[in-house]
Chains A and B, each alone.
Chain A
């Protein structure tokens, strides 16, 4: 394994999508998207169902032909290259292992189809891959004799056995339970590090995308909502859709009352005014906007504290309180808004429903987002 891992380092392909479009019956599934996947990177396509992420993956695989646009793998257009000649590995949502072949034969399939390895070399390579996914002892079994997690590993081994420069994964962990899923996330990262292949990973699970990816492409209705590192997406979402889809969030409708170069003041529905917030868009006074506050950025106090320049505060009443082990999650009614907050376990002892509390947060932690009609209507679609 060490030798192949050595030779595989930096062996990932670079993928470029250029104004790619695909429609089904007049409905655009993928609508003119462009993005680059750097060589060797782990890139997730994240979005709710129907956002076009699986269509995008199938276009890269070559199962679908784009209506327009182009895909470049290592600067070479693959428009006329059939799937079997693209040198791609793929892990399918349902694993799609061949039921009439043993684990070893499943893993060896790409070798039999693709390479001219001798029988002996092929056996050795299969053994290497099975060792990599820790399934050497199950080589002679049939897929249906394996658990979901084991089938998942076989699918990984099969996808990687011929050392493809690009690995596509279509919601590979969707069918596993939570614990196993988290275990496999770590496993997939480990394997990615050791083989160095470029990975394009489709998921609708934002926490999965955040923990695993170098880069996340958030998709919404066939278009790209935002591309960025997990941290950038979480901390500086481009719009309300991305803010709502990634992580827990409070998105509060507000109106801009004052717009100055150093920031804006906004008025919330309950009448409270908050400022000064940097606005990442052209904000005119009177324009509607969303105020984004992450629940974990909120601090809950029993009494109002002295006003300070870098903190904001709102007073409200606790309407819901639930214990999640490491944290308490609570909902606080402030005027017409309901704010979510997260409090560490040891600080939640004196909280109870009906109690008046003061929510405070650092000004820098809040963000103002545009309230475009498109982004706003996307929120319902994104809420699970």
Chain B
């Protein structure tokens, strides 16, 4: 058989597996099945319950939107999440930058220190802040013993304590996402800036920083969505005034057993999160930032 004939005959002998799209679909199947069963189905059930509990009416939703409590909690949640995200980004950026610029042992050491808190459970970490920030906590004791303040500062059960713990919990993830994004920046671009007259700071400001922004926006979105759902931290370190939406849903579901109301609140949170993500993506899409996608 000539080479040409072999080539021509080859497609006829291909199995079903060799068809395009078949193999990718097979490989995706286990993961898709998992997501469908443990995520999409419960989500559907939740949606169903939010309507069915009140005899298929929008009563639970109406109650939600007419209650000043929910509006206030949602606003507190959005505020806390935005602040925590901004702070996490601000603190993570320099660390990620140093990680990107270093190599070998130094990079390894920094990464270990970034990850050690990540390996500790969220509840344990939140409790440890109680010990740090309490009236008889480490910080207040130190301040009083040093004579800086006469009486303990109110460090606990306020926005400050909730934020500080949230940021600490979010930092490792933020650093890792930013680090990944910064690693993808072509470093010869910085060299090109320098040889063409840019000082270290100018090269950072005009080349590295703008190119790192897609990573900043991406990390911002992920961290924001994550912080919307914080539950343990505000419960332990906040006062009722810092109540976030996840806590309210929990109280509805487990204390008041109003599953219809809890489901409706959960669904609204999901819609709000998705909407914010969609708007965000529209204005900070990667294509725009890299330039040139506009007609």
Contacts and interface: CB of A to CB of B under 8 A. Distances in A.
Interface of A: 61-63, 82-84, 86, 88-90, 92, 94, 96-102, 109-110, 112-114, 141-145, 158-159, 162, 168
A98 B188 CA distance: 10
A100 B189 CA distance: 11
Given A90-B195, A158-B196, A100 B188 contact: no
B290 A144 contact: yes
Contact of A99 (B195, B203, B290): B290
B291 A101 contact: yes
Contacts of A96: 186, 188-189, 191-192
Contacts of A84: 194-199, 202-203
Nearest to B185: A99
A88 B194 CA distance: 10
Given A96-B186, A109-B193, A142 B207 contact: no
A99 B211 CA distance: 8
Contacts of B193: 98, 109, 113
B30 interface: no
A162 to B, nearest CB: 7
B210 interface: yes
10 contacts: A84-B194, A96-B192, A98-B193, A99-B211, A99-B292, A100-B211, A100-B290, A110-B197, A143-B292, A159-B196
Contacts of A109: 193, 196-198, 206
Contacts of A145: 292
Contacts of B191: 61, 63, 83, 92, 96
Interface of B: 186, 188-189, 191-199, 202-203, 206-207, 210-211, 289-292
Given A101-B291, A141-B292, A92 B188 contact: yes
B120 to A, nearest CB: 38
Given A101-B291, A110-B196, 7 more contacts: A63-B194, A83-B195, A98-B189, A99-B290, A99-B291, A100-B291, A113-B202
A62 B199 CA distance: 13
A114 B195 contact: no
Nearest to B187: A96
A144 B193 CA distance: 18
Nearest to B199: A84
B196 A142 contact: no
Contact of B207 (A83, A88, A90, A98): A98
B192 A142 contact: no
Nearest to A110: B196
A105 to B, nearest CB: 10
A113 B190 CA distance: 13
Contacts of A90: 192, 195-196
Contacts of A97: 192
A113 B292 contact: no
A160 to B, nearest CB: 10
A110 B207 CA distance: 13
Nearest to B293: A142
A114 B197 contact: yes
A141 B292 CA distance: 7
A113 B198 CA distance: 5
Query: Closest 5 CB pairs between A and B?
Result: A142-B292, A113-B197, A114-B197, A110-B196, A96-B192
A90 B189 CA distance: 12
A315 to B, nearest CB: 40
Contacts of B188: 92, 94, 96
B38 to A, nearest CB: 40
A2 to B, nearest CB: 25
Contacts of B203: 84
